[in-house]
Amino acid sequence: MIANITSGSNFFGVANYNQQKVEQGRGEVLYSQGFINTHPRTIDYTLRNYNNSRTQKPVFHVSLSFSEKDKHLLNDKKLLELTKEYLEKMGYKKQPYVVYRHDDTKHPHVHIVTTRVDIEAGKRIPAYREGIRSKAITDQLEKQYGLTVADSRSNQIKAGILIQVSNTISENKPESIEGLNKALAARESNIRAKTVKNGTVYFLVDKQGKRQAGTYKSSQFKDTSITHKNLQKQFQNNYQNRQTVKAIVQNSLPQKGKIPQAIWIAKLESKGVKPHFHEGKKGVYGISFQYHDHVYKGSALNRSLSFGNIKDKLIFPNDLNNNLTENLKEAFTRRESIVKTDPYTGNYITSNPQLNEQLNSLHRSDSKDVVTLHNTHVELSVGIDLNKFTKAMDGYEKDSDERILKSQRRVLQHKKKIRIGR
């Protein structure tokens, strides 16, 4: 029985990695505690809420691997029993956690995802001599359950290299040996990799990063994802995926002017990219983009794609609602009719650029209703004062946030392309 413990700060990445195994038919959720469901977003949101600012790497991700010889002894019930006992002895019994069984290797193994922050005390669970304590616990459980004693230290190290490197590649998507080592260090792993001639070798480092004795050639990991050839393929694929996401996001943003948030989200999703807005007490503070099984921070794709830079190119629902009725009232006061500039796009133009943006962001039928009502009152303005006009338009002011959102959703369902207000 071998336990490999890694740390990190990305709960979603770890949860999504395990969920992908489940969705691919190569794993199953055995148990969860403290979650309403095991969707990666739910796990991420729940565990981040327990975090405190002093714990920079709150992710506690453990894989428990067993000998292939013990496969007949380890049904789901026994695997879960062993896992719960391991967590209790490590001090994680009361923590929210998810246990996944993976079926992608010959030897039975499970993955555990939880937080290092004690949900009751709000402090980091002690990690002093964590590796030594973990080894003592697995040794005890081997004897207690009559399991095959773990292989020699060399084989244990090889097993640890395979699990930690493959997990890091799947979760962090590095694009080079340097990126892989950086991700391993961020996960507090003591494993590193190096390119030598036309191959790759793995070795261990101490807490100061100094290389330890012993080298493991990637050729020793035949038929796995961490051979030199497979590493290079994955690096190249990760690079291409990041460039693809970067191009999709950049091309979705207008070079000039702004685009309504809902329209922008739909453009991205039509290309397979799902944006996530990260919110805090003071509102949205960041953005990331999910593509296939990985989430990229906007700033990691390009500094120009950070939320601070993107937000100036988006029109949020509240922005659209701002002074919509006031702008119409001003146009009525000037007795200004609203003119359609292009019969195909359905765009309207007035002397007020903000009103143009508001009208042209709506679905055609909605903007047509508003414009028709407005122009009718302008044409029949004799005997109609501003108060009567305001009362007539009042229905478009009430619940207008919801109205605009619904109208934008209708735009997304529209088959024809429409041009956004200039």
Write the CATH number for 65: 3.30.930.30
Rounded Cα gap, residues 318 and 83, in angstroms: 49
Residue 125, number of CB atoms within 10 A of its CB? 19
Q: Mark out the alpha helices in 253-291 (DSSP H runs).
A: 261-269
DSSP assignment, residue 148? Answer: P
pLDDT above 50: residue 404: no
Closest to 16 in 3D by CA, of 2, 395, 8 = 8
- Mean pLDDT to the nearest integer, 351-362: 77
The answer on 271 and 287 residing in a single domain is yes
Query: What confidence score (pLDDT) does residue 398 get?
Result: 43
**Considering the domain boundaries, does residue 421 fall inside one?**
no
Q: Is 398 exposed, middle or buried (0-12, 13-18, 19+ CB in 10 A)?
A: exposed
In a domain, 231, yes or no: no
On whether both 286 and 338 belong to a single domain, the answer is no
**Model confidence band, residue 399 (pLDDT cutoffs 50, 70, 90):** very low
Q: Is the same domain home to 35 and 119?
A: yes
- Whether 395 shows a pLDDT value over 60: the answer reads no
Range of the domain at 369: 318-413
Question: Residue 38 above 90 pLDDT?
Answer: yes
Q: Which stretches of 351-385 are DSSP H helices?
A: 353-360, 364-379
Sign, Cα dihedral of 197, 201, 207, 211: negative
Residue 422 has pLDDT above 80, yes or no: no
The pLDDT, as a whole number, for residue 320 is 56
In a domain, 418, yes or no: no
Residue type, 57: K
Q: Is residue 295 located within the same domain as residue 329?
A: no
CB 6 within 8 A of CB 167: yes
Query: Would you list the DSSP string of 167-224?
Result: HHHHHH--SSHHHHHHHHHHTT--EEEEEETTEEEEEEB-TT-PBPS--EEGGGGTTS
**C-alpha count within 13 angstroms, C-beta hemisphere, residue 349:** 7
On whether both 3 and 139 belong to a single domain, the answer is: yes
pLDDT at 284: 82
What span, in angstroms and rounded, lies between the C-alpha atoms of 234 and 110? 24
pLDDT at 93 over 90: yes
326/399 same-domain check: yes
Structure confidence by residue, pLDDT tens digits, 9-19: 889 889 988 99
In a shared domain, residues 180 and 36: no
Q: Are residues 256 and 377 in the same domain?
A: no
Q: Minimum mean pLDDT among 81-85, 91-95, 250-254, 416-420: which range?
A: 416-420
pLDDT of residue 383: 57
Strand ranges, E, within 82-190: 97-102, 109-115
Tell me how far apart the alpha carbons of residues 359 and 187 are, in angstroms, rounded to a whole number.
50
Angle, alpha carbons 36-28-234 (nearest 5°) = 110
Residue, of 319 and 265, whose pLDDT is higher: 265
**Domain end: 125, 149, 173, which one?**
149
Most confident of 289-298, 323-332, 400-409: 289-298
User: Across 229-359, where does the E strand assignment appear?
Assistant: 259-260, 273-280, 283-291, 294-297, 314-315, 339-340, 348-349
Amino acid 323: pLDDT: 63
Count the domains in the chain. Answer: 4
Is residue 238 within 8 Å of residue 254, measured between CB atoms? no
- Both 4 and 65 in one domain: the answer is yes
For residues 319-349, one letter each, b for 16 or more C-beta atoms within 10 angstroms of the residue's C-beta and e for the rest, the string is bbbeebbebbbebbeeebebeeeeeebbbbb
Higher local confidence (pLDDT), 51 or 224: 224
Residue 37 sits in the same domain as residue 75: yes
Q: Given this model, what pLDDT does residue 407 score?
A: 53
Q: How far apart are CA 167 and CA 314, in angstroms?
A: 36
384 shares a domain with 247: no
- pLDDT beyond 90 at 368: no
Does the structure show a pLDDT above 90 at 326? Answer: no
**Which H/E stretch holds residue 389?**
helix 386-397
Q: How confident is the model at residue 384 (pLDDT cuts 50, 70, 90)?
A: low
The arithmetic mean of pLDDT across residues 102-130, rounded, is 90
Last residue of a domain, one of 172, 195, 226: 226
Q: Does residue 326 form part of some domain?
A: yes
Residue ending a domain, choose from 257, 275, 304: 304
Residues 325 and 255 in one domain: no
Inform me whether the pLDDT recorded for 106 exceeds 70. Answer: yes
Q: Using an 8 Å Cβ cutoff, are 324 and 403 in contact?
A: no
Report the chain's mean pLDDT, rounded to a whole number: 83
- pLDDT in the model for residue 401: 45
pLDDT band, residue 241 (cuts 50/70/90): very high
Whether 302 shows a pLDDT value over 60: the answer reads: yes
pLDDT range class, residue 342, cuts 50, 70, 90: low
Instruction: Give pLDDT, residue 201.
Output: 94
**What pLDDT does residue 10 have?**
86
